A = this chain, B = another copy of it.
C-alpha cells in the first residue's frame, strides 16, 4: 500500500569515535525510504536537493521502488548539509555546521499522484512544511509525525497545530517531557493524547522504544550491540521500518503497531552498525528476519 515519505535528503559529515565520514548521504527522508523499501514498494518520496546530489543515489532509490516524482532538484542550488560530532558515549552529539541551502525554500507541493497516499511518514522538518503536506492529502489512513526539541524551542505553536492533525507522534523521552511539561512518561503521554495523537512512540535510543495508546503500552528494547559506529539516522530508520511494516500489513491496530515497532527497532539496529547508509543498502529479507528473531529471544520469558 502507498507510503508517502517527507523529509530531508542531505549530505552529512559525521565524526564518531570510530571514524570520520565526509560528505556522505544522509537526511531523514533517505533513511526512512531505504528502511521502508524492505517492506513495501509503492513509496513516494517528497524532498528537495541541489544539482550537486548524485544521480546514482536517486537511481538506487528508484530501483528500490521509491518514486522520485516528488523530489525537487534545484539546478542552481546546493543540497542541505549537516556536520556533527558524537561524544565518546554516542548518546550526545554536537552540531558543527548546518547549511540549509535549498531546504530554505522548500515548499512541498505534492505531485497529483501522491495526494491519495494512504500511509504518511512526516520526517523531522519545520511544522509549517508538515502542515502544508497534510493539507494536500485526500484520504490518509495513518499519519505519523516525527519532530524534535528544536521546533519546540522556536515554533511550539505551529508544532502543536501540526501535532493536532496526526495519528502517531514519534519523539524521544526528553522531547516528550518538554512537549508535555511532565517528567513521568505516563503523564507525558496522557497530556500528549489531549493534543490530538492517538498513539505516541517514545524513542529512547540505546534503551529502546515505547509505543503508547490511551490504555496500552508496549516496550521494545534496543538490541544490545558490541559496536555502534554511527547513530545518525537511527530514529529515521526506525520510523521507516515501522511505517514500511504498517504499509505492508495495513494493520493499524495496537497489535499491528507493536509488530511494526519491532521491525523498526530491528532496522535501526542495523543502521548504527555502519556509517551513513553503509549497512542499510546491503540487507536481505533473511538478515531482517534473523534480526527480528533476536528481539524475540531478547524479550520473551515464561512464568
Contacts and interface: CB of A to CB of B under 8 A. Distances in A.
Nearest to A212: B224
Copies of this chain, count? 2
A296 interface: yes
B258 A301 contact: yes
Given A207-B207, A303-B262, A184 B228 contact: yes
B299 A219 contact: yes
B224 A210 contact: yes
A173 to B, nearest CB: 9
A210 B262 CA distance: 18
Interface in A216-241: 216-221, 224-228
A217 B208 contact: no
A255 B300 CA distance: 10
Interface in A132-180: none
A297 interface: yes
Interface core residue of A90, A183, A255 (most chain B CB under 10 Å): A183
Contacts of A302: 255, 259
A301 B262 contact: yes
A141 B255 CA distance: 41
Nearest to A88: B183
Interface string A85-97: 0001110000000
A185 interface: yes
Interface in A186-230: 186-187, 204, 207-208, 210, 212, 216-221, 224-228
Contacts of A212: 224
Interface of A: 88-90, 183-187, 204, 207-208, 210, 212, 216-221, 224-228, 255, 258-259, 261-262, 292, 296-303
